[in-house]
Amino acid sequence: MLTAVASGFILAILVALVRRISSPAAGWFLAALPACLAAYFSSQASRVWRGGPILEHHTWAPGMGVALDFRLDGLSLLFALLITVIGAFVLVYSGKYLRDRARLGRLYGLLLFFMASMLGLVLAGNLLLLYVFWELTSISSYLLIGFENQRAAARSAALQALLVTVLGGLCLLAGIVLLGNIGGSFEITALLAQGDAIRAHALYPAALSLILIGAFTKSAQFPFHFWLPKAMEAPTPVSAYLHAATMVKAGVYLLARLNPALGGTTAWTAALVAVGVVTMVGGAVLALNKTDLKQILAYSTVSVLGMLVFLIGLGTPLAFQAMAVYLVAHGLYKGALFLVAGAVEHETGTRDIGKLGALFKSMPVTASASVLAALSMAGLPPMLGFTGKELLYESALHAPVHAGLLTTAAVAAGALLFILAAAAGFGPFFGGGRHSGADVHEAPSALWIGPLVLATGGLVLGLAPALMNAAVRSATLAVAPAAATPVDLALFHGLSPALVLSAVSAGGGLALYSLHGRLIVAGDGLKPLAQWGPASIYDRAVGALNRIAVTQTGLLQTGYLRHYMQMVIVTTVALVIAGIVRWAALPQMVGPVGPQFHEAVLAVAIIIATIFAVRSTSRLAAVAALGVVGIGVSLIFALFGAPDLAMTQLTVESLIVILLVLVMYHLPDFGVFGPRRYRLRNLIVSAAGGITMTLLVLTAASVQYAPPISTYYVENSYTQAHGRNIVNVIITDFRALDTLGETTVVAASAAGVWAILRLRSRKGFFK
Amino acid sequence: MGVLLTLPILIPLFTAALCLLAWRWWRVQRVLGLVSAFALLCAAAALLYRVRTEGIQAVQIGAWPAPYGISLVADLFSAMMVMITGILGAAVAVYSAGSLDKARQSFGYYPLYHVLLMGVCGAFLTGDIFNLYVWFEVMLMASFVLLALGGGQGQIEGALKYVTLNLMASSVFLAAVGLLYSVAGTLNMADLARKLRHAPEPGIVTVLAMLFLVAFGTKAATFPLFFWLPASYHTPPVAVSAIFAGLLTKVGVYALIRVFTLIFVRDDVYVHTLILVIAGLTMVTGVLGAIAQNEFRRLLSFHIVSQIGYMIMGLALFTPLGLAGSVLFIIHNILAKSNLFLVSGLAQRFGGTFDLKKLGGLYEEHPALAVLFLVPALSLAGLPPFVGFFAKLLLIKAGLEAGSYVIVAVALGVSLLTLFSMMKIWTEVFWKPAPQRHPAVRRRAGAGLWASTASLAALTLALGIAAGPAFDLSRDAAAQLVNPQSYIDAVSRAHR
């Protein structure tokens, strides 16, 4: 299975590297890979159905719990087949669909990259590996939604989809890590085996909510659904593949996958059923007033995704069967309808159902595919969509709680889907739209073969649903190992309550379809409500984020050096004072001896000179005062037994004063900057800094944990290093590396000053 | 044996000296610089191999025994940092050889570049707290000159802010070293660790630790001490920005991790909570700063700040997993961030500006550059399969295991915002159609520019694919940090 996944990535990279793959025919050639993969997975089918999951293990980062584990069971097999089969047709389709040949290679590459990621997602046997592929699908979805990147709408739709799904992805990551910490492993097989322990754990609610957010964002559940209709900015084959048939089902897949580990609790059931039902009904209602083919299909996809989540939430064996069947049915009919919408747009230049109609004569093959798919979506016999819908009604009727309410919702959704199917799959070909069809031709074969095969698949499986018995049983087994029941799918089960409900929803749908035009108009009246919807909340959040960012940055990064310096000092003071207070380590004066008289005089002189330097209005006087401070400090050094230090300091001080006097002529006027309160603030900050350092020195001086190492230097300076001046020996021998570093600093600064000055004076010399 | 420890300092030192001697012949300097950068890379690799196979290495300079002479010590963390310095040093040397103007190349760029590398390597290798200060000075002087060299007003202004604030940090650092010496009577870090471990009460030591937190926090650009960074990093040539972005702040982070795992380990709850708060605020303020920017390199500069928060998050958690996360995150971030700066240089070359509003259309014109941007950008946002994801995963896992849910939420939220601002660059520079073409546009870039940029991106991907060995290395480095006894022992039996 590693090979299967890797082959997709490798081919994607090859396509990116080989520029020649821009011919429409290349689609047929590239489709060979998904076709072969589909064949491979089909060949494994009987083994999986009979024997159970096929496991494969490769190491990746064992220390982190990440492994290249793959797991092919009934559930992942179903997904893998959907991904590869639809992927093959989408590749063929894309070659003809895209008018801009130059970008065709990019589309092929991204589609293959996505296919490989999606395959990896459903085959992963390790949750972290699943997450890796999960994010890869988000990234490829981003690049595909923004495929027509010249359009601002495509760019912002791509960003929105990315942010919403990655937000969910990050929650999912946290949830996965929590789950891994609870279960002691990231291996799916290991986690599924200890569902009871996981559900009883204190962190279960947290892990569950995080994982649910991840699944709901990816599968466009309310209130995260809004990114999916916007994602219709993508080229139509992308919408068909990612945003109808496969990627948006990743969340559904994850919920089904983790059902044995997380499912069955009240929280799980409540969250999935509530969110699922709201999404199922809400998505279909929102689709009613749309006139763009892709928008109608997108909202109906939202509705179906809600249905699938709802079914998983119900948690009965029948519901899982319904989920598996409808998953396939939806993949087939929705993929087909999207591809049809693309073909129609390709031939007529529009997707507006108000402008389309009577295309049957000009596009008979496309129309046939469309009608077959629409029948399945409408839930009419003998299509697979009918079987799936019957199972849905049956599951809702037998729901453990609120069966009446849930059945009503399901039937309502069924009726609404009927209308949408008619509007999107039937109307353009038989309706009374503007297009006479005279100037329209049948789409090229690459554009109709996919929809035709997929829709026919829905018909064949609808006529003989028993073909799916083994697959559905095996998928159900994977979702709920404990609750496996025999599966016996049939087109006609006799006169059951579900059949009655089917008739009700079809009849209701038919009745409402005649009112569709009025519904579209009525929907326009509700537009003001949209400002309270999640989409506008997203917009406002992004706007607020940008404003907060600008405000915060303006407050912090003011551009004034003095603010930055104050911040450094204030931080130092705060941290040090907090530390001193925390330890009640107030300074104890060193020894009983106060300062000697001459020391006090020196200190007073330094203080006076400092005050003078600060207050002086003459630069010369200020410099001179600073010189006094420096000399005072050197004298202190001298008094406390460091004559060489004092000499060095004296030299430096003199040099600085001389330098300052030299450059004084070139400096701007010396004045008092800023109003009084600024200077007051400066005074407070600098005083706080000085006082803090003083306190700190006094505190530190009162503690000594170990005798200083300097005695070693005294003892060894002459005997070992052959030098009488200990300070010199330290500088040149004991700690010569310091001196080497400092010499380098001096050399670097000399070279730097020279270079900066010369380069400035020779501006314009080069070039 | 000890020579391996000194080579990462000596190679750049001699190169800088030779370049100064060859001042008039900048082409000679360029060749010297390139050869030496790759020599440093080899030496660093040899050192890492030695440390990996034989354990912590230490040597006493001048054969004076510890703690009286200066120790150079390479544990795994140090060796990894020297290794990544070698990688980045070589990549940026190649990039600068192909991108810098002749004026800068002839006026001291090469000697100062190698002095900078010397300072960085010295800081990673020294086992002496005062010697660390010296290496900070070396770095500061070299970086200041590189920042100001050949610049107009904006560059000089940025350099002034840079040097002033960093000098303040250096003063705090120096004062802290002095006070620490008066308390503990030694400067050798292993010796400090040994003596302070048995100190009767840690109060004053914790207070001194706060000074180190300020000093290294400023160097590392943590909240609220980061101002110098966004004020200066967007001004010099791209190669200089890139090497700064990769290395300078990380030396600060390295120093924080070193002293807070080796020396100041007594009062952990207080200190670690404090660092955790700083980590969170650094992440948030940095990324918000980035979102507010419309200039390529300014945006990236604020991101440096934000990512520093993640690096010290692992330190704050102070678990083996957390520290491993920090180590891996530092490595990842050095690669990704410098890579992005190099990409910004190429984008500027092709688009004529760093202004996001005026750039555009590079997705069509230079798809290879688009890929080279996406790899580090997605890695930075912590998306798989790049190494940035694994680094983030470790930190998240460590945070959740430690029950620090708030910081985990912050870290995840900030990575979404990071993605948001990276995609802002992507949208503006690559996807958006090009607005009016800047006149000073070049169509092509030399192979050196492409090769250095691509090699960093390739490493980001390769380390993601080799996440297993990368994690093992980080975990072992973290294990040495958590149990400093092996470090102390290595110094006490150091080869003379």
Record: contact B134-A706, CB cut-off 8 A: no
Contact A632, A606 (CB under 8 A): yes
Displacement of CA B129 from its chain's centroid (Å)? 19
Instruction: Give me the tens of pLDDT residue by residue for chain B, a chain 496 residues long.
Output: 588 999 999 999 999 999 999 988 999 999 999 999 999 999 999 999 999 999 999 999 999 998 999 999 999 999 999 999 999 999 999 999 999 888 888 888 999 999 999 999 999 999 999 999 999 999 999 999 999 888 777 888 889 999 999 999 999 999 999 999 999 999 999 999 999 988 777 788 888 999 999 999 999 999 999 999 999 999 999 999 999 999 999 999 999 999 999 999 987 789 999 999 999 999 999 999 999 999 999 999 999 999 999 999 999 999 999 999 999 999 999 999 999 999 999 999 999 899 999 999 999 889 999 999 999 999 999 999 999 999 999 999 999 999 999 999 999 999 999 999 999 999 999 999 988 766 667 778 889 999 999 999 999 999 999 999 999 999 999 999 999 999 999 999 875 5
Give domain limits for chain A.
1-263, 268-525, 558-705
Residue A215 CB contacts under 8 Å (≥ 6 apart), including other chains: A168, A172, A221, A250, A251, A252, A254, A255, A309
A395 Cα to chain B: minimum distance (Å): 39
Of chain A residues 122-141, which have a CB less than 8 A from chain B?
A: 128, 131-132, 135-136, 139
CB-based contact A112:A30 (threshold 8 Å): yes
- Does the CB of A766 have a partner CB in chain B at under 8 Å? yes
| CA-wise closest residue to A221 among A248, A258, A257 | A248
Give the E-state strand segments of B21-160 in sequence order: 57-60, 71-74
Q: Supply A622's token pair.
A: 């200020």
Query: Quick one: tokens of A242?
Result: 């990612």
pLDDT along chain A (767 residues), means of 10: 94 85 82 96 93 92 93 95 96 89 89 97 96 97 95 95 96 97 94 94 96 97 94 95 94 97 95 97 92 95 97 94 96 96 92 87 93 95 93 93 94 95 91 67 91 96 92 92 79 84 92 83 75 87 94 91 93 92 64 72 92 85 88 90 89 88 79 77 92 87 85 91 90 94 94 83 47
Does the CB of B298 have a partner CB in chain A at under 8 Å? no
B253, with CB counted inside 10 A (0-12, 13-18, 19+), is buried
By the CB < 8 Å criterion, does B139 face chain A? no
User: Considering only residues 141 to 180 of chain A, which have any Cβ-Cβ distance to chain B shorter than 8 Å?
Assistant: 142, 146, 149-150, 152, 155, 159, 162-163, 166-167, 170-171, 173-174, 177-178, 180
B65: which DSSP letter? P
User: Hey, which residues 389-428 in chain B have their CB within 8 Å of chain A?
Assistant: 389-390, 393-394, 396-397, 400-401, 408-409, 412-413, 415-417, 419-420, 423, 427
H or E stretch at A71: strand A66-72
Task: For residue A223, count other CB atoms closer than 10 A to its CB.
Answer: 16
Residue B144 tokens, joined: 């200041």
**How many CA atoms does the CB half-sphere of A258 hold within 13 Å?**
30
Distances (CA, A) of A765 to A760, B282, B362: 10, 44, 33
Nearest to B141 among A167, A697, A749 (CB): A749
Interface contact A567-B225, CB threshold 8 A = yes
Which residues of chain A have a CB within 8 Å of the CB of B200? 705
Instruction: Flag if A705 and B184 touch (Cβ within 8 Å).
Output: yes
Do residues B305 and B289 touch, judged by C-beta distance below 8 A? yes
Q: Is A546 on the interface with B (CB under 8 A)?
A: yes
Separation between Cα atoms, residue A736 and residue A740, nearest integer Å: 6
Q: Is A694 exposed, middle or buried (0-12, 13-18, 19+ CB in 10 A)?
A: exposed
Residue whose tokens read 């997602």 = A121
Residues of chain B contacting residue A150, judged by C-beta atoms under 8 Å apart: 433
Cβ contact B397–A181 (<8 Å): yes
Locate A332 and state its tokens: 């087939």
Interchain CB distance below 8 Å, B195 and A706: yes
B50 Cβ under 8 Å from any chain A Cβ: no
Residue among A64, A166, A559 whose CB faces B393 most closely: A64
pLDDT tens profile B17-72: 999 999 889 999 999 999 999 999 999 999 999 999 999 999 999 999 989 999 99
Residues of chain B contacting residue A214, judged by C-beta atoms under 8 Å apart: none
B142 touching A (Cβ < 8 Å): yes
Q: Map residue A203 onto helix, strand or coil.
A: coil
Q: Do A738 and B70 touch (CB under 8 A)?
A: yes
Tokens (6 digits) for A377? 């979506």
Q: For A489-541, what is each residue's pLDDT tens digit?
A: 888 777 888 899 999 999 999 988 888 878 777 777 777 777 778 889 999 99
Please name the residue of chain A whose CA is at the shortest distance from the CA of residue B226: A564
Cβ separation A63–B390 shorter than 8 A: no
Helices (H) and strands (E) in chain B, counts: 21, 2
CATH of domain A558-705: 1.20.120
Indicate the DSSP class of residue B293: -
* Nearest partner of A276 among A234, A312, A242, judged by Cα: A312
CA distances from B335 to A34, A313, B329, B459 (A): 36, 45, 10, 8
Residue A591's Cα: distance from chain center in Å? 63
Test B400 with A704 for CB contact under 8 angstroms.
no
Find residues 119-138 of chain B whose CB sits inside 8 Å of chain A.
Answer: 119, 122, 126, 130-131, 134-135, 137-138
Give the whole-angstrom CA distance, residue B123 versus residue B144: 17
A736 reaches B (C-beta below 8 A): yes
pTM above 0.90, yes or no: yes
Interface A-B: count of C-beta contacts within 8 A: 307
Q: Are A110 and A140 in contact (CB under 8 A)?
A: yes
Residue A99 CB-density burial (10 A; 0-12 exposed, 13-18 middle, 19+ buried): exposed
Establish if A719 touches chain B: CB-CB under 8 angstroms.
Answer: no
Which is nearest to A243 in space by CA: A310, A165, A184, A168? A165
